[in-house]
Amino acid sequence: MTRRMTRMISGLGTMLLSISGMIAFHSAELTAQTIREVAVPGMRGIASVGYRGNTLTVEYNPRTCARLGPELCSFFRAHEYGHIALRHLERGTPVRQAEYEADQWAARNTSPAARAAAIRYFQSGSGGSRRHGSANSRAYRVASAGTSARTRVAVRPDGSRTVKRGYHAVAQRPFNTGMIQPLFRRRVRQ
């Protein structure tokens, strides 16, 4: 190896150590950060995140949460925590991408009951917007993010669940998109 290559490899190693140090620093900073959760009865929507002074605050509407149920409210609050964990407020992530990532983060970090409640809510046609995407796409996003490729939880429109395991589970897309009910209707009519 030439001296130039040795210096280049050494410099690359130093750069990688520097990057890993920055990642460790930022993740430690994130865990040390104070996050307040505040009930705001008159707010529009279910939940939102923002700064109140210098403190990150997750606001939620307790009236809407009482009407929709604790599981669904838990999912939407987790969605807002996803924005914090993924640093969307600091990085200036494009809005649609940020909402997509926050939905996936919430699906991975909430209970199966909260995921199922969110999927049912989105499959009913609620929860879609220009900012968040269509309700159908959100249902698929939550269903596919909440499970791995080896275990797929199929949530049917009636709320019941089926668990498929193994590589064949990936092909069970109709269950995850809410399309299983229309598929069954077509078969019955024919």
| Six-digit token string for 99 | 């909402």
Distances from the Cα of 59 to the Cα of 11, 20, 36, 73, angstroms = 46, 33, 8, 11
54-58, 100-104, 107-111, 182-186: least confidently modelled range: 182-186
For the chain, give percent helix, strand, coil, nearest 5. 60, 15, 25
Residues ≥6 apart with Cβ < 8 Å to 47: 58, 59, 60, 61, 73, 76, 77, 79, 80
Highest mean pLDDT among 4-13, 80-89, 169-178: 80-89
The sign one gets for the Cα dihedral 98, 100, 105, 110 is positive
Average of per-residue pLDDT values in the chain: 71
125-162 residue pLDDT tens: 888 778 788 888 888 888 888 654 444 445 555 555 55
Question: How high is the pLDDT of residue 40?
Answer: 92
Q: Answer for the pair 105, 85: CB distance below 8 angstroms, yes or no.
A: yes
**Residue 40 Cα to chain centre, angstroms:** 23
Closest by CA to 46, choosing from 126, 137, 141, is: 126
